[in-house]
Amino acid sequence: MASRHQIAEPVGVDGAWRLYRAIHRERGTEHGLAVRTEVDPAGIERMEPLISAQRGRLDPAVVAASGFGGSAARLWVASPWLDGVLLPLGVADPAEAAAIVTAAARALVAARARGVPHGALGPGAVLVDAAPEGLAVRVARFGLAAADGPVPADADERGFERLVRQLDQPAGSIEAWAAREAAPARGPLWARVPELRHSFALDQEVAASLVFGSGLA
């Protein structure tokens, strides 16, 4: 990891993964970097084909992995860096909630077509941003759950059902939601994204000293 990326700042934690904004040393491009320690070698073997399968054009709702490496002592997965914030709890606007669920379904369908399960779908894997036309929604960290064991065949269905319930939307299959026409949503969450991003940045100023002090960076 150190030979390719320079850590710029910590941006969060998702289960066993620590999340960073990083700069590619040679290209100068920004990347999202997910890093974890103490990985079973079998987990690396399970992840490798899932990361490789994400190369090439995918649905815009998918934040596809762009790099992968490390060892059983430390594993990293890189992806394009995208502005935005992780999905906050308590989204009440129906149009925004429907847009989030629709985008998540499209991401799952697109990744499934490549044989890539998510395995750990939840608010911590959903990124929202305020685009001019409305709320932009993307799903990140496809395939990373395989580091912990074989991904159950119904993991994405169960994760999607939980997301639908959390957002108080009508039950439906991933495929049915993906086929819906979702109008651009510009509601309260869309308006709050700049505020949420600012609050998050202030929180990370405190978290940075803790994360970097742990030696994980």
Task: Give the residue extent of every domain in the chain.
Answer: 5-191
Distance CA(154)–CA(45), nearest Å, equals 21
What is the identity of the amino acid at 86? L
Q: Which CATH class is domain 5-191?
A: mainly alpha
Tokens 């700069």 identify what position? 23
Question: pLDDT confidence of 199, banded at 50, 70, 90?
Answer: low
The CA distance from 49 to 52, in Å, is: 5
Entry pTM: 0.87
Provide mean pLDDT across the span 27-43. Answer: 90
- pLDDT (tens digit per residue) in 132-191: 999 999 999 999 999 999 999 999 999 999 999 999 999 999 999 999 988 889 999 999
- Distance separating alpha carbons of residues 213 and 146, to the nearest angstrom: 28
* pLDDT score recorded for residue 77: 93
Contact (Cβ atoms closer than 8 angstroms) between residue 108 and residue 121: yes
pLDDT, position 195: 87
Structure-block tokens of residue 101? 């669920």
| Whether residue 14 has pLDDT greater than 50 | yes
Q: What is the residue type of 147?
A: A
- Mean pLDDT for the chain overall: 86
pLDDT at 201: 55
Q: CB of 125 within 8 A of CB of 34?
A: no
| CB within 8 Å of 80: residues ≥ 6 apart | 30, 31, 32, 63, 64, 66
Q: Supply the Cα-derived Rg of the chain in whole angstroms.
A: 17
SS3 168: coil
**Mean pLDDT throughout 105-110?**
97
